[in-house]
Amino acid sequence: MSENAPIVTRFAPSPTGYLHIGGARTALFNWLYARGRGGKFLLRIEDTDRARSTEEATEALLKGLEWLGLDWDEEPVSQFSRADRHAEVARQMLAQGNAYKCFSTAEEIAAWREEHPRQPFQSPWRDATELPDGPYAIRLKAPRSGETVIKDLVQGEVRIANDQLDDMVLLRSDGTPVYMLAVVVDDHDMGVTHVIRGDDHLTNAARQLQIYDAMGWPAPVYAHIPLIHGEDGKKLSKRHGAVGLHEFAALGYPAAAMRNYLARLGWSHGDDELFSDEQAREWFDLPGIGKAPARLDFKKLEHVSGYHIGLMPDDALMAELDRFLAETDQKPLTELQKERLSAALPVLKEKAKTLPQLLEQGRFAMIARPVDIDEKASKALDTVSRGMLKSLTAAVQHGSWSRDELEQAAKQVAEENGVGLGKIAGPLRAALAGRTATPSVFDMMTALGRDESLARLQDQTELAG
C-alpha cells in the first residue's frame, strides 16, 4: 500500500441481531480514523449466513449507526451479492497454481484428524497429478514452512508458523465461497487500506494474508483492538446490563456522549477524558489504543453524559428529547410543555446525567394545574405555610420576576414570620411541583413565568381560608 494512498476504512457487521456496543466502538474507531484524515468510511453487510441474516437486523444496524452519528460513504455493500466475484478469485488462484482441487470427503477428513490430533489437515490431493471426476473443494496451497507475519499497529508484530495452518478451503464443493476468502476479496475490491477490528479476528489475519500473497495484492494495514469487558473484568454479556447500542439509547445517553465515551474505551489521548467530535477526529490514532481489554464503566459514562448534556445548545437538546421520547414509545411533549421545559433547560442541564433524569427534574414545567401533590410534599402544606405563600404571592406579583428579587421576597416573608427560608421553600416547592425533590424553587418560578407560578400558588392559598 502506498504511503500516499487515501485512507479507506470499513465496518463490516453481520446482520444477525442488534448492534453490540463492541461493534459500535469498532465502527466509531474506523469512522474517526478515516474522517480525521480526509479518507473514506465504508460499510459492508456480511450477510453470507443466510439462515441468520435478516432485513430487519440490517435495518437495525443502519439505524444504530445513524443514531450514533456515523455517516458512511457510498452505498453499503452486500457480501452475499458478491458470491460470484469471490468464486471467480478462487478459480483464478486455481489457474495460477496457488490453489488446488481437493476431493477429500467430510468423512475422510474427519478420519484423518482422528489419526493426527492437534495437526492441521494435510490433503492428499495437494500435489496430485491424476484427478478423478466428482465434486471437489478448492483449497489454498499455503506455504508449509516459514512464518506468516502480521504487522499489527495495536498488537505489534505477530508471527504464526505456517506449519500450524492448514490449506484452507476457498470454495466449497457446492461452489459457495467461504467467509475468509470473501473478506479478502471485498476488502481488496473496496480499496480498504486499514482494517480496524476486534482482536478476536487476529488469527484470521494470518490466513487472509496468505490469500493476499497468493493473489499478489497489497495487504491492508491491520489494527486489532481488544474486546470490551464488564466492570468485573469478564467478557461483556447481558449479566453486565446493557450491551446493545439501542439499550444505551433507551437509557437516555445522548449520541454525543456515547461517541465520547466509546472513543475513550480502549483509546487514550493523554489524560483527556471529555472532548468534542472535532477533537476526537483530530486526536484519534491507532497507537493510542491499548492492548488490554477495556472495561465498561457506567459511572464514568454518566459523567461523560452529564458533561455533554450541559454543553448541548438548548434547541439541540430539545430535539434530542423529542427523539428519545419517540424512540422509547413515550407520549410526545405538547407545544406548551416544550416552551416551559425549554425555559427551564439552563438550570436542568447543569445537573442531569441522562435524558430521563432531565425529564424527571423538569417534570414541574410539564405538569398541568391543579398540581397533583404527593403525600410527602403535602406535609409541608398547612394553614400556616399556606398563609406564608399568600404573603409571598402579594409580595412578588407586581415585581420584575427576576430570580434575585423572588429570593429576596421569600427571605423577607420568612423573617416576618420568624422562620428560616427553608420553612417557606418546602411549601413553595409543594405548590409549584407537587414533590419534595425538585430544582431550586426560584429557578422553577423563573422557568414557569409569572402567570403560571402565581396561578399554582393561588390554588394553594385559596385553601388557607
Q: Strand 40-45 and strand 77-78: pairing?
A: parallel
Query: Which grid cell sits at 31?
Result: 469512522
The reply to whether 151 belongs to the active site is no
Nine cell digits for residue 397: 406579583
Residues 6+ apart with CB under 8 A from 67: 245, 246, 249, 255
Nearest to 169 by CA among 235, 113, 87, 241: 87
CB 385 within 8 A of CB 427: yes
Q: Virtual CA dihedral for 210, 214, 217, 223, nearest 10 degrees?
A: 0
Q: What gap in Å lies between CA 384 and CA 423, rounded to an integer? A: 10
> C-alpha angle with apex 187: 183 to 189, nearest 5 degrees?
120
Question: How many C-beta neighbours within 10 Å does residue 215 have?
Answer: 16
- Residue bearing cell 478451503: 169
Of 238, 349, 379, 390, the catalytic one is: 238
Distances (CA, A) of 217 to 7, 30, 140: 17, 22, 15
CA distances from 88 to 131, 136, 181, 192 (A): 21, 16, 11, 20
Nearest to 309 by CA among 318, 299, 300: 318
* Residues 110-126 as b or e (16 or more Cβ within 10 Å = b): eeeeeeeeeeebebebe
Cα 160 from Cα 208, distance rounded (Å): 12
Report the alpha-carbon distance of residue 261 to residue 296 in Å, rounded: 10
Distance CA 241, CA 225 (A): 22
Is 238 part of any known ligand binding site?
yes
Placement of cell 499455503 in the chain: 142
Which residues have a Cβ under 8 Å from the Cβ of 105 and sit 6 or more positions away? none
- Joined grid coordinates for residue 26: 469498532
Q: How far apart are CA 407 and CA 385, in angstroms?
A: 17
Helix and strand element counts for the chain (H, E): 20, 12
| C-alpha to C-alpha distances, 235 to 117, 201, 263, 394, nearest whole angstrom | 29, 16, 19, 63
Amino acid in position 448: L
Annotated binding site: 238
Residues of each annotated binding site for ATP: 238
| Positions marked active-site | 238
